[in-house]
Structure formats: C-alpha cells, structure tokens
Structure 1
C-alpha cells in the first residue's frame, strides 16, 4: 500500500469518527430523553393555554354550537364533555363549569383536543 493510500484511509477513518461521535451521543442522549413518558414533556400553563383557545374555538360565546354539535367556550363534543364528568350539554353549562371541564380535559390530554385550531392559538401560547 502506498503512503498516499494510507493517509487517505486515515483521513476517512478520522472523518467517520467525527461523524459517528455526535450521532452516537445524540442517539444515547435522545434515548434517555425519549425514555421519559410523553406526559413529562413541558406543557403550557393550563389557564394561559385555555384562555388562548376560547377566542379560537367559540369567539368567547359560551352558548355557541357548531355544525357538528360541539358546543360551549371550548367546543366540547357531547361525548368528550361527558367523559370529563359534564352533565347535559356543554353549551347549557355555566361558564365556570365549562372552564372546570376544560381544565380536566387539558390535564388528561394536553393541547391535542384543540389541535384543529392550533393555527389560531399556536402563536399565543
């Protein structure tokens, strides 16, 4: 093997080491971070987040009902409303009750129930 070929092989090995080390570190570090439950990820403050959602979902009208039957400040579907302990229909509940149920839903599922309106509230949170 010529000395030029040896130098070239050393350069390739050195280059691989420079590429592999950060990838390995990211993989190990990422594996540690990913081993935590998804609920450990940082969430916006509940009240701050929900305050940003209200204008996007209902325009602040606690009695509004949309075309698919979601109602109230947070546009709960009746099934979701009942799943968090709501009685009757969300649009017929008090504002305080709507907020209470929205806090429960947020604690259970984070921002995902309001994903479809993220284009509206996303820049406010």
Structure 2
C-alpha cells in the first residue's frame, strides 16, 4: 500500500469519527433526557398546576379519602403528608393547609406525585 493510500484511509476514518461522534452523543444524550422523570422537565406554574389537579384528585372535596387511605384535596398519603410537614391526616386539615403542603410537595417533586391522574389534568395546563 502506498503512503498516499494510507493517508487517504486515515482521512476517511477521521471523517467518519467526526460524523459519528455528534450522532452518537445526540443519541446517548437524548436517551438520558427522555429517561428523566416528569418532574425534571420544565415545570408549569405551581398554583396553575395544583388548581388543575384538585378536581382530578378530590373533586374539590378537602375531606375526601380514597380506598387506599389518601386524603384531602390533593390525595396525600399519610406518609407523604407527614413528609412535607403535615400533622394528623390531610383530610382533617384546612384547605389552606392542604394547599400549603401541596406547594411544598410540588417544589420538591414537581408533577410526579400526581402522575396517575395526568390523563385528567394533563390537558388543562
């Protein structure tokens, strides 16, 4: 093989590497971005989002409890309620207290805690 042919092959390989590297980086980067939870994406305004969640989760009834024990406007599980500083049970707290704790949870986890009802609130925000 002549030195010119070797030089040409190196140039082709280098050119392929320059072409493949950005495509590979975009593919890997895109996969990582797509695997992030909903809360990692741009968050909607907290009050607007939570206002869309209330009718979906509780129908606006601050005293409602579902079959698995989640209660209140935002259907807090008791452990989640305590995790954001709530006392007692969410369905026994005032609506203002439930809103306060929902804002805290939203600031911590974004839309993730309410993902199960996304088919209801998703088109409202």
Class of the TM-score when normalised by the shorter of the 2 chains: 0.7 to 0.9
How many angstroms apart in 2 are the aligned matches of 1:82 and 1:25? 42
In the other structure, the counterpart of 1:84 is 84
The equivalent of 2:54 in structure 1 is: 54
Equivalent residue number for residue 96 of structure 1: 96
RMSD: 3.1
Query: How much does 1:104 deviate?
Result: 0.3
State how 1:1-125 maps to structure 2 within 5 Å: 20=20, 23-24=23-24, 26-27=26-27, 30=29, 41-125=41-125
For residues 88 and 73 of structure 2, the distance between their equivalents in structure 1, rounded to whole angstroms, comes to 15
DSSP-derived class of the 2:106 partner:
helix
SS across alignment from 1:123:
coil
Q: Normalising by structure 2, what TM-score?
A: 0.73
Counterpart of 1:5 in structure 2 is none
- Structure 1 runs (4+) deviating above 2 angstroms are 19-22, 24-28, 37-41
Q: Tell me how many residue pairs correspond in the alignment.
A: 109
Deviations 1:41-87 (A, max 9, x none): 41111001100000000000001000111000000011100000000
Between 1 and 2, higher relative CO (CA 8 Å, sep ≥ 6) is seen in 2
The offset of 1:23, in angstroms, is: 1.4
Once residues 57 and 121 of structure 1 are traced to their aligned partners in structure 2, the CA distance between those partners, rounded to angstroms, is: 9
